[in-house]
């Protein structure tokens, strides 16, 4: 390779989705390399206020995903129990409930990592974190 020559661009569609300058034409990917260009749920906690109704909507969608994919999830019962705990904690936001919600925010991404419900679980965790602020 001659000095001053630029390396050829990688094939489109095989990038990491992380830009360090230049053109970034690769699809967005999550940390396990799955294409996430068709995300249907999202929750942004940067500069936006998340209300309890947003969290409830994402919780309902997450429960639907868990029910739909229950046969292929390695921890379906745990995810259902966590969803129930989140629901209960949302109705009684005392100190104990806030602790349970913070625990869910920490545990949920690890429980859904690499599963069919990863996007919904992560969206739910981010929304709860934003609501707790």
Distances (CA, A) of 50 to 3, 6, 11, 75, 126: 51, 44, 38, 28, 10
> What pLDDT is attached to residue 50?
86
> What pLDDT is attached to residue 54?
94
What DSSP letter does each residue of 72-103 carry, written as one string? G-TTHHHHHHHHHHHHHHHHS-SHHHHHHHHH
> What pLDDT is attached to residue 20?
42
Q: Return averaged pLDDT per consecutive 10 residues of the chain, 133 residues in all.
A: 51 43 42 44 53 95 96 94 94 86 95 95 96 89
Give the separation between CA 43 and CA 54, rounded to whole angstroms.
8
Predicted structure pTM score: 0.64
């Amino acid at each position: 390779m001659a000095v001053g020559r630029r390396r050829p661009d990688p094939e489109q569609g095989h990038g990491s989705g992380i830009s360090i300058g230049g053109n970034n034409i690769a699809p967005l990917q999550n940390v396990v390399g799955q294409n996430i260009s068709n995300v249907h749920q999202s929750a942004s906690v940067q500069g936006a206020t998340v209300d309890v109704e947003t969290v409830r909507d994402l919780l309902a969608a997450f429960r639907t995903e868990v029910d739909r994919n229950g046969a292929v999830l390695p921890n379906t019962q745990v995810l259902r129990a966590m969803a129930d705990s989140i629901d209960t904690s949302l109705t009684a936001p005392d100190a104990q409930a806030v602790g349970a919600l913070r625990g869910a925010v920490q545990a949920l991404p690890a429980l859904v990592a690499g599963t069919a419900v990863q996007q919904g679980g992560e969206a739910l965790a981010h929304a709860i974190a934003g609501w707790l602020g």
